[in-house]
Structure 1
Amino acid sequence: MDIRDRYKFEENGREISFMPNYSFLRTLVGWLALGVIALPVIIYYFMDKISGDQFKIAMGLWSVYMIYFLFDLFFRIPVKYILINRKSVFTENCYFPKSS
């Protein structure tokens, strides 16, 4: 994989921009698949085999897992660093870009 693709590196005459966590996106998709598969397994397989309190704990752990996953997806992956010739650094969330 090329370094430009791995970090979404872009350069024009005025600025350089890159996204350091962009390569983690593929790994995150795998974790999403694991989380989506885990929910029906927890509900259908374990619901009758464990007690109600254990089921609530399992669902709570799954909920924390999915919240952490969504946090990574929305706030860690899309951060873009922009280096401008004026010796300043700006960050931008690519899902919610700032309006000009």
Structure 2
Amino acid sequence: MNWAVANRRIAVNPVLGITVKVPKAVRLRDRDFTDDEAHTILKAASGPPNPRLSPGHAAARRWVPWLCAYSGSRVNEMTQLRGCDLRVEKGVRLIRISPEAGSVKTHV
């Protein structure tokens, strides 16, 4: 309606000041994996790959869950990494997760 007022489609915003209360989503369980769930995921990642997968996809299915578990990152953050996001400083291997590579939760 604000757009319509700004573009002279209507003279006054008829819904100005009206708010809608939206109830909070009901959380049925914790967001974190249970120890059993994490064990199942990492055990499956360590198993033999499907022979129909390309070597690149097989490697991703093996290492992405481990990298996420080790670093606390999200799957999309790991899978959008670029070569320039990996580096070694003072003998320590680093991963730089940034919105330049793609979406991240905090947008920072």
Tell me if TM exceeds 0.5. Answer: no
Larger RCO (CA within 8 A; separation ≥ 6): 1
Q: Write 1 or 2 for the structure with the bigger share of helix.
A: 1
- Give the TM-score taking structure 1 as reference length: 0.30
Q: Write 1 or 2 for the structure with the bigger share of strand.
A: 1
Task: Name the larger-Rg structure.
Answer: 2
